[in-house]
Structures are given as C-alpha cells and as structure tokens.
Amino acid sequence: MNSYDRIARVIRYLDTHHTQQPDLAALAAQAGLSPFHFHRLFSAWAGITPKDFLQYLTLAHATALLRAGDSVLDAALAAGLSGAGRLHDLCVSLDSATPGEVKSGGDGWIVEYGLADTPFGICLIGRVPRGICHLSFVDGEPDADPRVRLRAQWPRARLRRRDSMAAQLAGRIFDRGVPSATGEPLRAVVKGTPFQLRVWRALVQIPPGTAVSYGRLAQAVGHPGAARAVGTALGRNPLAYLIPCHRVIRETGVIGIYRWGRARKRAMLAWDSASPVPAVDRGAGPGVKVSS
C-alpha cells in the first residue's frame, strides 16, 4: 500500500466513523502504521494533523445538524461529542503566546487592526499572524488612539490599519447563526499567566445562556479559594466577548461589574439567552481557536 492509498483509506474511514471520535492509534491501525509515522505522513499529505481533520469533520457535521434545527445538545451528541460544552470547546480553543513571542514584544510581526460596529457598540479588533490578539469596546473614547492599546500588548510590532478586516471578523464573531459557514474556527492568541490562561480557557467552555459565579469558576480551575484572583483574571481579559467574562456573576445572582460596562454585560447575557446556537461559536456564530 503506497502513501496515497494509506491516507485515502483513513479519510474514507473518517467520513463514516468520525462520530465515534477515533483516536490516533485507531487511525494509524487503518493505515497500517505506527501512530508516530502515521501522524507525520497524514500531516504531510493533508496539510493538517489528524486531530485537526477530525475536528473539522465533527464541526461540519454539528453545523449541518444545527442548520437543520437540532438543539445544541442533540447536535453535539449526534456528532460524537460528550455534550454541548464539548461542542462549544471545539469551536473555541484558547492558546498562549510563546515565551519568545512575549519577550520579543511582537518584533517582526504586523498587527492588523481596525474598528467595527457590533450589537454592543464599536469595537477594536487586532490580529497578529497566529490569530486575533485583541478585542475591546471603544465607545466613549471617540478621540482615543486605538494604537495605544495594541502597542501596550505588542510594543515592537508594526501596526497596519484595516477596518475591512475588522468588520469581517466582527461579522463572524457576533453572528447569531450557526457556528461557522466554513466549519473552520477563528484563531486567537493571548498573553497571560498560567493561572489567567486556565481561567480564560474555563470561560470559553461556558455555554451561551449560562452564568457562573466567581466561586464556581475558581473551583473549576482547581483553586476553590481564589475567587478574588479569578476576578483579577477577568479584568485582564484581552478578548471581550470571545472570552465570555460577561457570563460570570456574583454568588448572590447580582450581575456585578464588567470591564466594558454593566449595561453592556446585561445586554450580552440577554443576547446569549436569545441566541439559537453558541454565540462564541459565532466560532461559536464562528468558532474561536486561540493558538499558542
């Protein structure tokens, strides 16, 4: 069996068995190779890893079911996932900038940025080569230079304004339709401490229409006594709405403060509740993949 036949056989197998979520060993067995050699061969031929290919098929299947009217939970289970939260996590994955990228301050990078209208006001979106790096709301600051915020994150990067890019991304992020027209998630990259990243990753698994308390979120990240530290991590969230810190409320049920305004937080919670499918799956509408 030559390389093409091996890969074609695995792809045909995935077409009919992706709802079983086969692992790398099972796929390698179909190709008659060790997991190591199969992973290398598949990545070279398909251009993506076997895991990424399986995720693409899973998300595409779930998207089709959502379009057909299935609930988020039913679509997730039918696609072979453990639940709605798993589908949401598939669309939104958060990775960190590498130590080298943090140290260089974006040296050699071009940060594309722009302003765009959203259901919650004007936002500033920044994108680096590996994905979205910034999303914040700027209304109330009409004369502020948006580049100041971006330079604080990536001081050595070159900045290039592209409002059309920002508008296109905003359209996907705040789309209340199905996860993604292409089945491909948005990608994002963030800078933060290990604890902040743990909190942010936990946040992207909170389904739209659901709220969690600071204490419960602290428990979820393995630090039950760190509710205050969780609040600090939320205050440093670099991706408004994509990392849904607006879904965190006080133990008493009070909405609480929000970095971009309490009224906006209420509007976002109402928007989430009315959305037919995961809003973050905007990428979540689109899926968000935050890469490292």
Which residues are catalytically annotated? Answer: 245
**Please, are residues 185 and 59 in contact by the beta-carbon 8 Å criterion?**
yes
- Angle between helical axes of 227-235 and 194-203 (0-180°, round to 10): 80
> Distance between CA 60 and CA 70 in Å, rounded?
14
Which residue shows structure tokens 């900045």?
A: 159
**Please, are residues 81 and 170 in contact by the beta-carbon 8 Å criterion?**
no
User: Which phi and psi angles does 114 have, rounded to 5°?
Assistant: -175, 170
Instruction: Give me the residues paired with residue 229 across strands.
Output: none
User: Which residue, among 274, 255, 276, has the nearest Cα to 266 in the 3D structure?
Assistant: 255
Q: How far is CA 247 from CA 104, 186, 202, 224, in A?
A: 33, 20, 11, 18
